[in-house]
Amino acid sequence: MRRTACCLLAINALLPAYAAEPVDEAYIRSLAAPGRTVLVMEYYDGHGQVSERKGYASASGFKAISATAFRVDANLTVRLFGIEPCEGDMVNRKEEFAGTCDDYARRGLETLLQSPRVIFCRAFVSESGGSVQNVTCYGYYHYPGSLDTIDMFEEELVSLGSHRIAKRPDGSLARPDLKEAEAIGRRGYGMWVDPRVAAQ
């Protein structure tokens, strides 16, 4: 049990570090394939080195199954590490939304999953082989003549206010690398326009 707890602490410490490291944008762009959404999983060992890569492709894209997770195939679901929806219900009149925090956050994730050409995810090597894996993901979005960008999913969701940073049992932030993104969201975007959420 003690060994399991130590492993979990190591994962919690290392995933944000990998998330904060710059990604190779040229490499991510090179993965794009016509008529497909490509997903690449990259696994890191305890020394911060890439130990394994796995690739997937879908003609219909990947679908959110919860506020923080989406299904890759019948055997794999990935869950965005360190972020969460607010609790209970919320209202955002500007977006004409009134409902549960879970539904609002899921809608945000669904939006990100609509049109990336490539999804690039990082995880600790101990996640490899699991049916549900904690990850941090980036999306490559390309519209000729108007948009060519690579964005971290968690940073986008938190800055738009559909999600917030989760906290560890000791009260510390699970993703301190997202503090600036949450500060943007708290200025009046997404969930944060509802004073009940701000008071949580």
Kindly give the confidence (pLDDT) of every residue in the chain, 200 residues in length, as a single tens digit, with 9 standing for 90 and above.
444 333 444 444 445 555 557 899 999 999 999 999 999 999 998 888 899 999 999 999 999 999 999 999 999 999 999 999 999 999 999 999 999 999 999 999 999 999 999 999 999 999 999 999 999 999 999 998 888 999 999 999 999 999 999 999 999 999 999 999 999 999 999 999 999 998 88
Tokens of 156: 């986008």
pLDDT for 33 equals: 95
pLDDT for 153 equals: 98
What is the distance between the alpha carbons of residues 89 and 196, in angstroms, rounded to a whole number? 9
pLDDT for 46 equals: 84
Among candidate residues 76, 67, 71, the one with its CA nearest the CA of residue 103: 67
pLDDT for 22 equals: 84
What is the distance between the alpha carbons of residues 94 and 20, in angstroms, rounded to a whole number? 32
**Parallel, antiparallel, or unpaired for β 76-80 and 69-73?**
antiparallel
Would you list the domain boundaries of the chain? 2-198
pLDDT for 16 equals: 52
pLDDT for 186 equals: 96
Residues constituting the chain = 200
Among candidate residues 109, 124, 130, the one with its CA nearest the CA of residue 62: 109
pTM: 0.89
pLDDT for 47 equals: 82
